[in-house]
Chain A
Amino acid sequence: EVQLVESGGSLVQPGRSLRLSCTASGFTFDDYAMSWFRQVPGKGLEWVGFIRSKAHGGTTEYAASVKGRFAISRDDSNSIAYLQMNSLKTEDTAVYYCVDGSLGYWGQGTLVTVSS
């Protein structure tokens, strides 16, 4: 059974940094890209970015709204994907979801609140 568990969400002040983790199980993590999406409570869904598998270069892509501030990385030996969020803004407040490469399996999400 595929499972994705996000962690690391919290209340953080504007301008600070936060790192989210996504621990995966139930599939061959190395073989797949991993994506991050977010959702402002009560609003729609937004793609944040993804990291390709090492076999496809391990490169990353980002939404314009986070490019230059967020970075996705992966630890294939431990089946973990990370979302490093720097220079956080109040508009980054959202539930962040980790999603597998098929776009079919989503974690339960972790809430990030950016507020002073």
Chain B
Amino acid sequence: DIVMTQTPLSLPVTPGQPASISCKSTQSLLHSDGTTFLYWYLQKPGQPPQLLIYAVSNRFSGVPDRFSGSGSGTDFTLKISRVEAEDIGVYYCMQSIQLPYTFGQGTKLEIK
């Protein structure tokens, strides 16, 4: 199985400041068709996960542009340009290039 490793696991951030989460996979997530199968989700307290980013850097419908994704191969980053109070929750990366789909452990973002 592909192992997804996120850092940090806890991220205290002051509103208005930037935040960054790293996600590393044990195998390349690049498919032969050129797509990289890396997703970022945010799970707010008491809610199901919501998709933020797909294919490394594409924002899902309705996602604010303060969220951005980057990376390639096995090394990926989610950045929030200016954290807002509503961004609190647990962030997960996920790969779907190989079965079973696997997630990172989650990064809990909290407001300072």
The verdict on A63 contacting B48 (CB below 8 Å), with A44-B105, A44-B106, A104-B54 known, is no
B64 within 8 A of A: no
Taking a contact as CB atoms under 8 Å apart, the answer to whether B103 and A44 are in contact is yes
B34 within 8 A of A: no
Of the candidates A64, A97, A102, A105, which one forms a contact with B100 in the assembled complex, judged by CB atoms under 8 Å apart?
Answer: A64
The verdict on A103 contacting B100 (CB below 8 Å), with A44-B92, A97-B48 known, is no
Taking a contact as CB atoms under 8 Å apart, the answer to whether A109 and B48 are in contact is yes
B5 to chain A, nearest CB (A): 12
- Residues of B in contact with A, size category: 20 to 34
- Residues in B with CB closer than 8 Å to A32 are none
Per-residue contact bits, chain A 73-99, to B (CB 8 Å; 1 contact, 0 not):
000000000000000000000000100
The A interface, classified by DSSP as helix, strand, loop or mixed, is loop
A27 within 8 A of B: no
Chain B interface (Cβ within 8 Å of chain A)?
A: 39, 41, 43, 47-51, 54, 60-61, 92, 94, 96, 99-103, 105-106
Q: List 24 A-B contacts (CB under 8 A).
A: A44-B103, A44-B106, A45-B41, A45-B49, A45-B94, A45-B103, A45-B106, A47-B100, A47-B101, A61-B99, A63-B100, A64-B100, A97-B49, A102-B54, A103-B39, A103-B94, A103-B96, A104-B51, A104-B54, A104-B61, A106-B49, A107-B48, A108-B47, A109-B48
Chain A interface (Cβ within 8 Å of chain B)?
A: 44-47, 61, 63-64, 97, 102-109
* 9 A-B pairs with the lowest CB-CB distances in the bound complex, closest first: A47-B101, A106-B48, A104-B51, A45-B103, A63-B100, A47-B100, A104-B60, A44-B106, A109-B48
